[in-house]
Amino acid sequence: MRVAEYGEADKLVTFYGADLGRVTGIAKGAKKSKQRFVNKLEEFSLLRIFYRPPRSPAGLLLISEAELLAAHLSLRTDFRRYAAAMYLGELIVRFTRDHDPDRRLYLLLAWALAALDQGKMPHQIVLFAHLHLLETVGYRPELSRCSACHQPVRAQHRYIFLPGSGALVCSACSSDRSSHALHLSVQTIRLLASAQSFELDRLQRLHFPRHALAEAMAALHHFSLHLLQQDIHSWRLLRSLMSDRPLRHNASA
């Protein structure tokens, strides 16, 4: 959820609802409210929102009240969890359209924010959510075989991930040995394939070693960049926290 001030007393609220999808509404008097909205319209909160339809087809929802279901406070007080939640929120915004609901996306986002709030590994939760989001919107990466020779993934090969197609090519079929190629180890590929097949409530059984997590997150990020044809701004912060390197203002994204 994103909240912006509007005028002297109102707030604009953008949220993703199970039945509405991504929508923006106006909460009249929210900045002065003592009951209806106080401490409720915060980023990453789970709310029950009461609203009236817009007065015109292009208008905003009129939000009359909000009931707080889960505050997810740690996502606003712990920097790593905040960065992870920001990245997930940006992915949802980039991959969805206004008034186009998908209950699977709603449940995925609700699961991810709850898992982050419960203290689960932030970057691993981001990876799982990103992977399942891609499948939900119709861009499931193909991780079972080489896209050139069609042979199943085998331990004796190394693999390159192709962000243009979301597919793999094995070392026997690829002539690209550059350091810029997105190399994936067989361990990373098999962990990603397991994560694809697991339901959300089983994902916590998986554990990605640090190198596998870095490989997998970079691959999904570059695949998403190709699909969206626009930057995902919160990636730079998330990546810097994963590597434990200081974030420099002149570093390339």
Q: What are the domain boundaries of the chain? A: 1-71, 74-253
> Cβ neighbours of residue 76 under 8 Å, at least 6 residues apart?
42, 43, 44, 82
Q: Which CATH number describes the domain made up of 74-253?
A: 1.20.1440.120
pLDDT at site 178: 65
Instruction: Retrieve residue 138's tokens.
Output: 């119709």
Sign of CA dihedral 101, 107, 113, 114: positive
Confirm whether pTM is higher than 0.85.
yes
* Per-residue pLDDT tens listing for the chain (253 residues): 788 888 888 999 999 999 999 999 999 888 887 778 888 899 999 999 999 998 887 789 999 999 999 999 999 999 999 999 999 999 999 999 999 999 999 999 999 999 999 988 999 999 999 999 999 999 999 999 999 999 999 998 899 999 999 999 998 998 776 667 899 999 999 999 999 999 999 998 999 999 999 999 999 999 999 999 999 999 999 999 986 544 343 333 3
Q: Which CATH number describes the domain made up of 1-71?
A: 2.40.50.140
